[in-house]
Structure 1
Amino acid sequence: MQHFWVVGTDTDVGKTIVTTLLMYQLQRQGLEITPFKPVQTGEVYDNGHSYYADTAMYEKFSLQALNENHINGYSFREAASPHFAAQLEGQQIDVEDILRRIQFLQESYDAVICEGAGGLFVPLDIKHGTTLLDVIVSSKLPVVLVTRTSLGTINHTLLTMEALNSRQIDVLGIVFNGDTGSMMEQDNINTILQYHPLPYAIIPQLQNISQLMNIDITHTTLFERLHGYETRSNGFTG
């Protein structure tokens, strides 16, 4: 078992859904798993209660008690790029602090799943020009790439893969999220895999987030790569 990042081709592509699902599936294997969101933005207010959607989802579906100090580095109220959301609160994101936290967590858990924010080039520290991609490189951890199945995904995915490959980052596999089963989506998936024949899993479009727990990806080539045992099929199809 190894530690890894979950990164996306864009914002709202489903990184938190995938992070939560991988956490849940790996915990079911008896492993001590923690998700870690270095930076989250966009505080949610609901009936007088405030929370952050990403870490709240981790806590809702985790099979193990999560340490609140281990699942998040920085939280900012504004739903904006991390560097701007930090500026609004008079703060600056300390990238070295994030890397120290990741190293500490690696020593404490069987696996740490670090969830990115937005796409690869989201700025974290504009003063020093540091992006999420720079942090991933410095962490020396591989990634799982989350992408859409809808129109436009081929270009976005291939561009993201080019950026990862140019930095010599190991890509463990691809998660195709939000599949509705159309012919176009299947062709999009096949085309991307033609360019990058990596382990993968397909997650169908969810009508309700609670459906996430009905998805089993343990028999996909992606989970095989993550967990290290043989699977019986190439991808989850619904």
Structure 2
Amino acid sequence: MSKIIIKPNMLLQSRFCFGQCYNSCLSLCGKQHYMKIFITGISTDVGKTITSAIVTEALEADYWKPIQAGDLDQSDSHKIKSYLSNLKTKIHPNSYALNTPASPHLAAEIDGIVIDIQKITEPETQNHLVIEGAGGLFVPLNKTETIADLIKPDYKVIVVSRHYLGSINHTLLTIEALQHRNIKVAGIIFSGDENPATESLILNKTGVKMIGRIQEEPYFDKNVIAEYADLFREKLLNLDQ
């Protein structure tokens, strides 16, 4: 029996063909329903940007980070761009690009400004839109408003959770706070090594479905992001179900 050799460019072509067929089907079947997906985390550095890259790649969505605090030369928007393989995604500019890596309210104060939530305007697009938050849900933007106030009723929220001492509490509090605001929690993505007991408790207690897990990888690049995008795509396309 002859062996079938799959070359890297064949995998890229198959992903391209999938996107072409998917988009063609949507054109034939009627108007596409575009989703607005907000990525929040249970804390800082839990994997929101990697998750945002995977979701953006899976849906060939647009990407928007309303507020960037610090690292302006290597911002999350820059990172997202470097992770993507598709040519459809548009990366929209930040509403606020602050110089200091700190809580947005403090970074804005250092820059001599006050964040006005009315000036944070969602970009117009005829595509899915992935919106990445900053830190956790109640990171302050100013004296009265937090990241949670950026989430609109029609957004589908994905919560990124990572296992550490206290993470169960942080995850449950985040989901409960969203539900208390009548915000739909579309799913949870776990980041890092598996912890079956913790994950089972969280899923059973909240009733939120698991979209997938992002393992501890040696590195992340376009190929790794594309592999996760392929794994998560079906569940992401069915967030309403």
Return the TM-score normalized by structure 2: 0.77
Match of 1:198, SS state, is coil
1:196 is displaced (CA, Å) by: 2.0
Letter aligned with residue 207 of structure 1: P
Q: Which consecutive unaligned segments of at least 5 residues does structure 1 have?
A: 28-32, 45-50, 230-238
Letter aligned with residue 17 of structure 1: I
**2:139 is equivalent to residue 122 of structure 1:** yes
Distance 2:227 2:132 in 1: 20
Task: Find the counterpart in structure 1 of residue 227 from structure 2.
Answer: 215
Task: Find the counterpart in structure 1 of residue 98 from structure 2.
Answer: 76
1:61 is displaced (CA, Å) by: 1.9
Task: Find the counterpart in structure 2 of residue 167 from structure 1.
Answer: 181
Letter aligned with residue 64 of structure 1: L
Task: Find the counterpart in structure 2 of residue 64 from structure 1.
Answer: 87
Task: Find the counterpart in structure 2 of residue 176 from structure 1.
Answer: 190
Distance 2:77 2:153 in 1: 21
Task: Find the counterpart in structure 1 of residue 118 from structure 2.
Answer: 96
Contact 1:153 1:188 in 2 (8 A): no
Partner deviation per Cα, 1:25-83 (whole Å, 9 max, x = no partner): 112xxxxx211100011226xxxxxx133111111122226555x14221112110001
Task: Find the counterpart in structure 1 of residue 24 from structure 2.
Answer: none
Contact 2:56 2:89 in 1 (8 A): no
Contact 1:35 1:71 in 2 (8 A): no
1:139 is displaced (CA, Å) by: 5.7
1:187 is displaced (CA, Å) by: 1.1
Change (3 A) 1:119 1:145: same
Match of 2:95, SS state, is strand
User: Would you tell me which structure has more strand in proportion to its own residues?
Assistant: 1
Task: Find the counterpart in structure 1 of residue 38 from structure 2.
Answer: 5
Percent of paired sites with the same residue: 33
Contact 1:40 1:52 in 2 (8 A): no
Contact 2:42 2:159 in 1 (8 A): yes
Task: Find the counterpart in structure 1 of residue 21 from structure 2.
Answer: none
Larger Rg: 2
Task: Find the counterpart in structure 1 of residue 22 from structure 2.
Answer: none
Distance 1:4 1:214 in 2: 18
Distance 1:4 1:226 in 2: 10
1:15 is displaced (CA, Å) by: 0.6
Change (3 A) 1:43 1:25: same
Task: Find the counterpart in structure 2 of residue 30 from structure 1.
Answer: none
Q: 1:109 aligns with which of 126, 129, 132?
A: 126
Task: Find the counterpart in structure 2 of residue 156 from structure 1.
Answer: 170
**2:198 is equivalent to residue 188 of structure 1:** yes
Match of 1:116, SS state, is strand
1:159 is displaced (CA, Å) by: 0.7
Distance 2:70 2:153 in 1: 25
Task: Find the counterpart in structure 2 of residue 40 from structure 1.
Answer: 68
1:219 is displaced (CA, Å) by: 4.5
Contact 2:55 2:236 in 1 (8 A): no
Task: Find the counterpart in structure 1 of residue 26 from structure 2.
Answer: none
Aligned length: 204
Return the TM-score normalized by structure 1: 0.78
Q: 1:22 aligns with which of 45, 55, 58?
A: 55
Contact 2:190 2:213 in 1 (8 A): yes
Contact 1:172 1:226 in 2 (8 A): no
1:92 is displaced (CA, Å) by: 1.8
Match of 2:130, SS state, is strand
